[in-house]
Chains A and B, each alone.
Chain A
Amino acid sequence: MSLNGWLQITLFIALILLLAQPIGTYLTRVFERRKTFLDPLLVPCERLLYRLTGIKPEQEMRWTGYVSAMLVFSASTMLLTYLVERLQHWLPLNPQHLANVEAALALNTAVSFTTNTDWQSYSPESTMSYLTQMLGLATHNFWSAAVGMALAVAFIRGIARRETHTLGNFWVDLTRATLWVLVPLSIVLSLVLVSQGVVQNLRPYDTVKLMEPQKVTTPDGKTSTLTTQTIAQGPVASQEAIKMLGTNGGGFFNTNSAHPFENPTPLSNFLEMLAIFLLPAGLAISLGQMVGSPKHGWAVLAAMTVLWFANSALFATVTTDASCGAVNSMHDSFMPLGGMIPMANILLGEIVFGGVGAGLYGMLVFVIMAVFIAGLMVGRTPEYLGKKIEAFDVQMSMLYLLIFPLIILGFSAVAVLMPNLGLSSLANHGPHGLSEILYAYTSATGNNGSAFAGLNANTPWYNLSLSVAMFFGRFLMIVPMLAIAGNLAGKKIVPASAGTFPVTTPLFTTLLVGVILIVGALTFFPALSLGPILEHLLLRAGASF
């Protein structure tokens, strides 16, 4: 990779590490309900919201109540999105008169945006009205990110509190994450993006005359001459900002951030990348501050950074080998091992910074496993920040870690074995085809949402099965995660002794990275060896797919 590339990576990670501390401190103040500079403006809004909805902010919830409130909220907002999609033709703000979204696709999209996945089996500019984009999808960009942050904070409280059974109030955490964090940051970033040329309007699409008419041949052999081009418009900037800040990823246009109206300049590209990592990095610092061990927050952030940097270096090597340095491109077009890297990033459990909140609580489950393994090595009951890690905590951690591969590998196997369902819409066969299928279920279950391309997922089978993968990949992992938090909150604090494994040292960071890599490698290596690795070996022998 070029010097410029390395400089950009270094500047990027330096800025993230620089911003992590102030953002983390701000997040801590917000979730501990301490004073912030936005209070004069937002406290009256918060009080009004609680009064209108009948929420009692001082009422604490047990872990079961916290998860139940989150599930009820997710179900309600999912239904809202589904209805808006199904009725969009008769609703306002549809200047292109787009038809109602087909039911299987509407379900897939509703689940996708509710779970912070933002998998898109459709081309947004030709499928979704402006109202659907704003009321059905952009709202979820805020809500799903706020839910992730609330869950991460609840987990942190479980670690920090002692001999209690409550983890906070879900509605308060959701409200404060939205009002104090996501809305202000989105307003600022939207305005900056508009200054760079990202569009923000509600007018019908433009039709422009081509300077040079283009001859095209359709698949059935007919030739025609195109003299005009339709240029899609819309309220893009307001959606683009939260798409990045909330680690959502659902593009306003089909080509996502490769579209010049979403990401027009090198500066907008850099700021959008920065926005993706900003809150996950800040939350790691909040972890340290809220549990009373700032060094632990930095140790967790260091593990995320090490994994990210290692992947960047590997990615650079592979793309250099492949003469492919583009980043806003289709993973399908990468060389086999180049395509494997983004897939491996998700397969590790989406904890290399990961989603807002989701990345941190995923990482904390790995922390519990690392501490447990360290305890086994020295023959002591493992402790984590003074809490004894016992059978139930390890059972729930294993449940969290096993559900993930079960969904990915199970659905991929079913899709591969069913020619009429899983293989019929596949563009490539052989190991490359397996990579496309494996990536789709990995992306859905990991709530990532990016696509490998080459697979037409807008079929009833993929829309429905990916819906199941996205839903279970989010909620069935949240349940055991918060069960651990609920259990930890009730425990006493054991004073540290000579046998306590410190969780603030480089040794801890190394062990954590090792556990993540070993769990990821052992679980998914067989599947990867049949997909991208086999394709790489066959490519060297002269076969391509």
Chain B
Amino acid sequence: MYDAIAALMTIVFFTAAFTYLHACEQLRTRPRND
């Protein structure tokens, strides 16, 4: 069972990291008023 948990956690880890990367780039390139 722990193999499945390990696989799931790894997928979650890297998905979170890529999502986070995308969110940071979105924040960087958003149009600004200032």
Contacts and interface: CB of A to CB of B under 8 A. Distances in A.
B28 A479 contact: no
Interface of A: 63-64, 67-68, 71, 75, 78-79, 82, 86, 102-104, 106-107, 111, 391-392, 395-396, 399, 460, 464, 467-468, 471-472, 475-476, 479-480, 483, 486-487
21 contacts: A71-B17, A75-B10, A82-B6, A102-B2, A103-B1, A103-B5, A103-B6, A107-B5, A107-B9, A111-B13, A391-B34, A395-B27, A464-B5, A468-B9, A468-B13, A471-B13, A472-B13, A476-B20, A479-B21, A480-B24, A483-B24
Contacts of A483: 24-25, 28
Contacts of A467: 9
Interface string B1-34: 1110110011001101110111011011000101
Highest count of chain A CB atoms <10 Å: which of B2, B24, B27: B24
Contact of A479 (B3, B13, B24, B34): B24
Contacts of A472: 13, 16
Highest count of chain A CB atoms <10 Å: which of B6, B32, B34: B6
Given A68-B18, A103-B2, A103-B5, A487 B28 contact: yes
A106 B34 contact: no
Contacts of A486: 28
A494 to B, nearest CB: 17
A374 B6 CA distance: 46
Interface of B: 1-3, 5-6, 9-10, 13-14, 16-18, 20-22, 24-25, 27-28, 32, 34
Contacts of B18: 68, 71
| Pairs A-B, 9 closest by C-beta atoms | A103-B2, A107-B6, A483-B24, A475-B17, A103-B3, A104-B2, A471-B13, A479-B21, A75-B14
Contacts of B3: 86, 103
B17 to A, nearest CB: 5
B5 A104 contact: yes
A396 B14 contact: no
Contact of B21 (A67, A464, A471): A67
Highest count of chain B CB atoms <10 Å: which of A86, A399, A476, A479: A479
Given A103-B2, A475-B17, A464 B9 contact: yes
A135 to B, nearest CB: 19
Contacts of A487: 28
A391 B32 CA distance: 10
A82 B34 CA distance: 48
A281 B1 CA distance: 45
A104 B6 contact: yes
B1 to A, nearest CB: 8
Contacts of B16: 472, 476
B19 to A, nearest CB: 10
